[in-house]
Amino acid sequence: MNQENPQDELADLEISFTLNDSQVRVSIKPWETALETLRNKFGLTGVKEGCGIGECGACTIVMDGKAVNGCLILAAQLDGRTVETVEGLSSNGTMNYLQKAFLDKGGVQCGFCTPGMLMSAKALLDECDQPSKKVITNALSGNLCRCAGYVQIVDAVEEAALIKSKDAEDQAVNR
């Protein structure tokens, strides 16, 4: 795409940040959004555009531990930050506990909201060990889903929280 767009030759900002555990450096336009950069420059098409105005949450990424809308963040704001996208959740092709819980509880239908949901859930569970249902629904209320009616998504996040706390207990015992 870069060769196609003559304006890309005029890129005038260079940023570097940690993207899914790798250090990256990239040239961007000052007006480019994080969503555009992640999709177009890094091929991270798991970051979805549903509305472009921060209403649907499909482009949610985790930046320095917080869930943010990729469409509302300028690419320039990624400089020096730690950024996580859905592509960073699996390791060596194996899904993590959160993804497995979504699969197990039927939390995926069309799948377009799924990456954003996962990232909002990840930010929550990284910060909070055993969130109540209310805490979960609040934390995820910026993510719209039109297929699933949210029920199995809440079930999945609750299940993931359980797995996570059980893993933590097991680790403590083994130590």
70 touches another protein by CB under 8 A: no
- Contact of 30 with 73, CB cutoff 8 Å: no
Out of 30, 65, 80, 111, which residue is the one contacting another protein (CB under 8 A)? 111
154 touches another protein by CB under 8 A: yes
Shortest gap between Cβ of 102 and another protein (angstroms)? 6
99 touches another protein by CB under 8 A: yes
Binding-site string for another protein from residue 113 to residue 142, where x marks contact by CB under 8 A and - marks none: xxx--x-----------------xxx-xx-
The Cα-based distances of 39 to 35, 98, 127 in angstroms read: 6, 23, 27
Give DSSP secondary structure letters for 116-165. Answer: HHHHHHHHHHHH-SS--HHHHHHHHTTS--SSSTTHHHHHHHHHHHHHHH
Closest CA to 31 of 89, 90, 75, 97: 75
Characterize the bridge pairing of strands 82-84 and 13-19: parallel
Out of 32, 35, 68, 102, which residue is the one contacting another protein (CB under 8 A)? 102
Shortest gap between Cβ of 107 and another protein (angstroms)? 9
Residue numbers at the binding site for another protein (CB under 8 A)? 1, 3-7, 43-53, 55-56, 58, 85-87, 89-90, 95, 99, 102-104, 106, 108-115, 118, 136-138, 140-141, 143-154
